[in-house]
Structure 1
Amino acid sequence: MKTILITGASSGIGEATARHFQARGWNVIATMRAPSEDSTLADLDNVLVTRLDVTDAASIPVAVAAGIEKFGKIDVLLNNAGYGAYGALEAFTMERIRRQFDTNVVGLLEVTKAVLPHMRQNRSGTVINISSIGGQITFPLGTLYHGTKFAVEGLSEALHYELEPLGIRVRIVEPGMIKTNFGGRSFDFAMDEGLSDYAPTAEAMGRLFGKLASNPSAPETVAEVIWEAAHEDGDRLRFRAGEDAARLLEDRKSQDDGTFIGGIKKLMSG
């Protein structure tokens, strides 16, 4: 029986993936910042719910060790924990800027580093990193979020080269708009009333997101794509999740910068 370790498993994509893999006979190490708040995953067979906060370095090796002790092996690591910081760059304190990168990038790297010795010893394993359409394209006021997701894309592709000879695969999953709490606790919006120059852009961003999020995919859609990525035996690196992701990423690939960015501006205009 194979085992997957998931970060950010308390809700959304992480929770849906935990249920998807458990229902198909896998062991699941479902990690989250506050396990005491979870009342459902822990009731499932072959699921270990344990604490892991990607911004708390000390919690990471403890969770990895607990998972290995419980199930004997980690076959797949899903780096899912993350959130989106949007707003004018001037409106963010350096503390909030560092928190975005510490969560989405540095935390991902720390968890990966903690699991790699185990996978390297076994000469097998798969690391799946949740990126976003925002790792290939950008939206207004997303300087921080897109910066982190572009970083995830780059580090994942580079990591592929060094891990493949060791029998370890790297996969990138790029969801589009998903029905999750991304707009709630997973969303950090910054705007200063004194920065009125950015107000028109913020209003335009609201219109754009309203159009893009009109028909979001369910988290289970992403879970199915993650399942596919975990079982990919070839050299495929990137997996798109959601019809909007497929459409937008294909447009970005086929169009030059001016054409694609012009299209985004048109959607923003009303």
Structure 2
Amino acid sequence: MKTILITGASSGIGKATALRFQSDGWNVIATMRDPAAGSDLAALDNVHVTRLDVTDTGAITAAVAEGIARFGRIDVLLNNAGYGAYGALEAFSTERIRRQFDTNVIGLLETTKAVLPHMRANRSGTIVNISSIGGQITFPLGTLYHGTKFAVEGLSEALHYELEPLGIRVRIVEPGMIKTDFGGRSFDFAMDETLSDYGQTAEAMGRLFGKLASDPSAPEVVADVIWQAVNETGDRLRFRAGADAEVLLDDRKAEDDESFIGRIKDLMGS
């Protein structure tokens, strides 16, 4: 029986993926900052819920060791934990800037590093990194969030070369707008009232997000794509999740910078 370790499994994409893999007979190590939030998952067969805060290296190491002790091996790592920081760059303190990168990038790297010796010894494994359409496309006031997701895209692609000779595969999943709490506890918006120069851009961002999020996909859609990515036998690196992701990423690929950015500006203004 194979085993997947999932970060950020208390809700949204992480929880949907835990349920998807458990229902298909996998062992699931469902990790989260507060294990009490995963009591319903813990009640399921072959699911182990434990604490893992991606900004705490000790907690990462302990969770990986605990998962291996429970199930004997880790076949798949899903780096899902993350959140979105939006707002004018000037409105973010250095602490909040570091928190965004520590969670979405450094935490992903540290969790990957913790699992790699085990996968390397087994000469097998799959690492799935959750990126976003925001790893290929940018929206207004998303300097920090898009910076982290562009980083996830680049580091994942480089890791693909690095780990393939060792029997370890890397996959990138790029969701579009998803019905999760991204706009709630997973969203950090900063806007200083003294920075009125950015007010019009903030209003435009609200209009844009309203249009883009009018028909979001369910987290289960992403879980199904993650399942596909894990079971892909070829060398495919990127997997899109959601109809909007397909359209937007195709458009971005087909258009030059001026054309695509101009279209985003049009959506912001209309």
Deviations 1:113-157 (A, max 9, x none): 000000000000000000000000000000000000000000000
Q: Secondary structure at the match of 1:115?
A: helix
C-alpha displacement of 1:233: 1.0
Equivalent pairs, count: 270
Measure, in 2, the Cα distance between the counterparts of 1:104 and 1:196.
29
Please name the residue that 1:129 is paired with. Answer: 129
Match of 1:70 in 2: 70
Aligned alpha-carbon RMSD (Å): 0.4
Query: How far is 1:187 from its partner?
Result: 0.1
**In structure 1, C-alpha distance between the alignment counterparts of 2:201 and 2:41, rounded to whole Å:** 41
Q: Find the residue that maps to 2:206 and give its secondary structure.
A: helix
| 1:96 aligned partner | 96
Where in structure 2 are the equivalents of 1:174-253 lying within 5 Å? 174-253=174-253
Q: Which residue of 2 aligns with 1:161?
A: 161
TM-score, length of structure 2 as denominator length: 1.00
How far did 1:57 drift? 1.0
Deviation, 1:63, is 0.2
Which deviations, in whole Å up to 9, do the C-alpha atoms of 1:168-226 show, x marking residues without a partner?
A: 00000000000000000000000000000000000000000000000000000000000
Residue 147 of structure 1 corresponds to 147
Structure 2, unaligned runs of 5 or more: none
What is the rounded CA distance, in whole Å, between the counterparts of 2:11 and 2:38 in structure 1?
9
- Counterpart CA distance in 1 for 2:117 and 2:23 is 28
Measure how far apart 1:104 and its partner are: 0.1
TM-score (norm 1): 1.00
Is 1:37 equivalent to 2:32 in the alignment?
no
* Corresponding position: 1:17 with 2:17: yes
- What's the secondary structure of 2:57's corresponding residue? coil
Query: AA paired with 2:248?
Result: L
Once residues 183 and 137 of structure 2 are traced to their aligned partners in structure 1, the CA distance between those partners, rounded to angstroms, is: 19
The answer to whether structure 1 residue 106 and structure 2 residue 106 are counterparts is: yes
Q: What displacement does 1:39 show?
A: 2.2
Shift of 1:36: 1.6
Instruction: State the distance in 2 between where 1:18 and 1:2 align.
Output: 13
Residues 1:54 and 2:58 aligned together: no
One-letter amino acid of the structure 2 residue matched with residue 127 of structure 1: I
What secondary structure, in the 3-state scheme, does the structure 2 residue paired with 1:40 have? helix
2:5 aligns to what? 5
Amino acid at match of 1:205: M
Amino acid in structure 2 at the alignment position of 1:120 = R
Letter in structure 1 aligned against 2:148: T
C-alpha distance in structure 1 between counterparts of 2:55 and 2:82, whole Å: 10
Q: Which amino acid aligns with 1:150?
A: F
* Percent identity over paired residues: 81
- Superposition deviation, residue 38 in structure 1: 2.3
- Point out where structure 1 has 5 or more consecutive residues left out of the alignment: none
Cα distance in 2 for partners of 1:260, 1:213 equals 19
Q: Could you tell me how far apart the structure 1 residues matched to 2:81 and 2:59 are?
A: 14
SS in 2 for 1:77: strand
Q: Amino acid of the residue matched to residue 194 of structure 1?
A: T
